[in-house]
Amino acid sequence: MRSRTRGGHGCRQNEAVAHRAGLLRPGSFAVRCCAAALACAGAAVASAAGNDADRAAGAVAAPTRTLSTSYDFAAPHLERRARSVTISIPGCDTRLRTDAPAVPFRTARILLPPGCRVERVEARPGAETRLLQESWKPDRSRTPLPHPHAAAPAAGRPAGDSAHTPELGSGGLYPFQQVEPASVHRLAGCDIALFRVFPVRYAPADGRFFFSPRVDVTVTVAPAAQPAEPRLAPRRWEDVENRIAPFVDNPDMLEEYRAARQELAPPARPAVDYLIVTTESLAPSYQALADRKTRAGLAVTTETMESIMTRFPGRDAAEKLRNCIRHAYTERGIRYVLLGGDVAAVPCRYAHVPRGPAARDSRLPCDLYFACLDGSWNRDGDDRWGETTDGEGGGDVDLLAEIDIGRAPVDTPAEAAAFVEKTIRHEDREHRDAGAVLLLASCLEQGTAQGGAMFDPLLPHLDECAVRRLDDRPHTSPQWGAIDAIRELNRSPRLVLYSGHGDREELMRLSAGDLESLSNRDPFLLYSVGCNPGQFDNDAFSPDSIGEELVKHPRVGAFAAILNVRWGWYDARQEWKYSGEFQIKFFEQLLAESRVDLGTACRRSRHEMLGQVEAGGIMPYRWCYYGITLFGDPHAAFEIPRLAQEPATSPE
């Protein structure tokens, strides 16, 4: 059976629809918004709502209100290992903190009323809690491992990682509470609060597990301080609604935003869908792409960095560029941005995720900065963008993207022309072997860990494809090399996935010199979870990173690639954790509709992972969130052949 209940974007929307119709699909979690609470939430109410005695006595009512939501959970699946039990629930992710019990959770996403903040959140079992298991130990999270090439992870813990001493809540249960706040993020000026809801809790004293098939969550909100800077006022409000409605658990709250929204004056300039940012010297090379997008029905405009530098405010080129994109979003309604140049032409912004003692270890070139347009991403104004307290009011930075973005990592008109030619060829001509998929996997240095294990959760999605593999399994030494990889790539697969170690100059066991042997007749889409092949901020080096070379190679190689700009991450026993989870979500998004844009699939898959993003410790999920980068046209569509099935509901 296809795993369509793992929390895909469309899936959530279906559930919301199912609930409103009174139908709940078996085998998945379900959401119930408390009608009474939401009705009561229609106006600001006192914490003791309706307490006339208090009002009569002149008591000042705290202007709080509550939002209530119920979450139903399918029965847990218990997998016993030698000394422990792994618990999973359809539709839930797993909370991983080193040395703490690995427990399933579901991310609750609550659209806050306009101008409100979270004051507190509470949860209680909505149905009888069951004893699930006795005298067993839960699987404990291991230290996450990076994918550095040919370097076995150092003994001990990486910098920033520390053993998690579980704090026990009432009754000696872990997690401490049944719900915990994760973060608050903003989508086009609307605040969405994320919480982790734990249906299973564990009593370390006697090894008992308790399962709550339903959890009722109550969020109390209060008026927030006026934001330091005005909220984004997007030109296309319908786009915002179409994105938020399937994403949150209480889409009815959009009504309040609709009511509070001021009617904007008619825009002076026509709307634009697709913005190309490049330089004066590269701009002519993108004309063919602009023409192609225009024929596809998009309104396209091009901005040059030379012009942006003189017309937009900002402390540096990256901030000026972001202000240009914000302006194009709010005034002209852009949906896609192509950053049409390598870092020397179109700047990058470094985001900060503390990792090691050297400052350079903690900096990731992060194009997400140009797609998540709420707030400044650097509230304290220092030289570190993207810190976990760099958002509005000291909270997290904005991690909900308003637009879809990709980068063409080109330096010369010839490279830009090669990129455009492959992009158009992919768009105009059906791949001659649409179902051809190549999976490349290498052994990992940590014990018996195998990159190939990362593909196993994906295989149900590839039922209708002709899958070929190069895989070291079950061996723990390389069983294939560059010659084999070139041979398979030259069979012209349409989709190539690589799971294993990489480096700036090595990917799929190929080095830059090997690329001269490529002769694939149709360009492919590449997704790699290995370290560093997308290290595009490398203009001090030549050639570029191997991922960039694959995308800009004339006529052959990839038309688009999704790559790590720095490390990828995995777990020694569950290799598909961390980077692999983002990859799985990406494919779920591709499968959610018949044709999905690559930029859209990247954005949605990130958003699906948002409940995992950490605010402390080693932060592998945040690392992935910042570092996974699309090199290619964000509007390029891609379709995976699949079994006939009922059409999924389109969230946009």
Q: Which is nearer to Ca ion, 316 or 382 (CB)?
A: 382
CB 339 within 8 A of CB 323: no
Given the complex with Ca ion, which of 610 and 640 has the nearer CB atom? 610
> Smaller CB distance to Ca ion: residue 374 or 593?
374
* Least distance CB 437 / Ca ion (angstroms): 28
**Number of chain residues interacting with Ca ion (CB under 5 A):** 15
Q: Would you count residue 544 as binding Ca ion (CB under 5 A)?
A: yes
**Of the two residues 147 and 186, which places its CB atom closer to Ca ion in the complex?**
186
- Asked if residues 445 and 505 have their Cβ atoms less than 8 Å apart, the reply is no
Phi (first) and psi of residue 202, to 5 degrees: -125, 140
Residue of minimal CB distance from Ca ion? 374
The answer for residues whose C-beta is within 8 angstroms of residue 161's C-beta and 6 or more apart is 98, 143, 144, 617, 618
Q: Which residue lies nearer to Ca ion by CB, 337 or 467?
A: 337
Contact 121, 112 (CB under 8 A): no
Dihedral through CA 22, CA 585, CA 580, CA 368, nearest 10? -130
Residue 229 CB contacts under 8 Å (≥ 6 apart), including other chains: 375, 376
Whether the bond into 175 is cis, omega within 30 of 0 = yes
Binding to Ca ion (CB under 5 A) within 199-218 occurs at none
Binding mask 288-307 for Ca ion (x = CB under 5 A): --------------------
- For residues 390 and 471, which CB has a smaller minimum distance to Ca ion in the complex? 390
How many CA atoms lie less than 13 Å away from 333 in the CB half-sphere? Answer: 16
Alpha-carbon distance values, 501 to 145, 477, 504 (Å) = 11, 13, 11
Pick out residues in 163-192 that bind Ca ion (CB under 5 A): 186
**Smallest distance, Ca ion to C-beta of residue 214, A:** 32
What DSSP state is assigned to residue 516? G
Output DSSP code: residue 645: -
Least distance in Å: CB of 275 to Ca ion? 17
392 binds Ca ion (CB under 5 A): no
Residue selected from 400, 550, 551, 613 as contacting Ca ion according to rule CB under 5 A: 400
Q: Which residue from 336, 480, 498, 536 is in contact with Ca ion, where contact means CB under 5 A?
A: 536
Q: Name which of 7, 168, 204, 193 is nearest 88 in CA terms.
A: 7
Give, as ranges, the residues between 335 and 354 that touch Ca ion (CB under 5 A).
342
546 binds Ca ion (CB under 5 A): no
Q: Which of residues 362-391 bind Ca ion (CB under 5 A)?
A: 372, 374, 378, 380, 382, 384, 387, 390
* C-beta closer to Ca ion: residue 387 or 506: 387
Among 72, 249, 367, 398, binds Ca ion (CB under 5 A): 398
The token duo for 103 is 């427990």
Q: Of the candidates 8, 307, 359, 16, which has an alpha carbon nearest to the alpha carbon of residue 159?
A: 359
CB nearer to Ca ion: give 190 or 417: 190
Report which secondary-structure segment, H or E, holds 524: strand 524-528
Stretch binding Ca ion (CB under 5 A), from 106-114, 428-436, 455-463, 531-539 = 531-539
Q: Which amino acid is at 192?
A: I
Looking at the Cβ atoms of 510 and 584, the one nearer to Ca ion is: 510
**In this structure, are strands 466-471 and 506-507 parallel, antiparallel, or unpaired?**
unpaired
Q: Is residue 472 a contact residue for Ca ion (CB under 5 A)? A: no
CB nearer to Ca ion: pick between 373 and 462:
373
Interacting span for Ca ion (CB under 5 A) from 134-142, 250-258, 520-528, 537-545: 537-545
Which backbone phi and psi does 308 adopt, to 5 degrees? -60, -40
191, β-bridge pairs: 186
**Least distance to Ca ion from the beta carbon of 387, Å?**
4
Contacts of residue 619, Cβ cutoff 8 Å, sequence gap at least 6: 160, 353, 354, 613
Which residues are at the interface with Ca ion (CB under 5 A)?
186, 342, 372, 374, 378, 380, 382, 384, 387, 390, 398, 400, 536, 538, 544
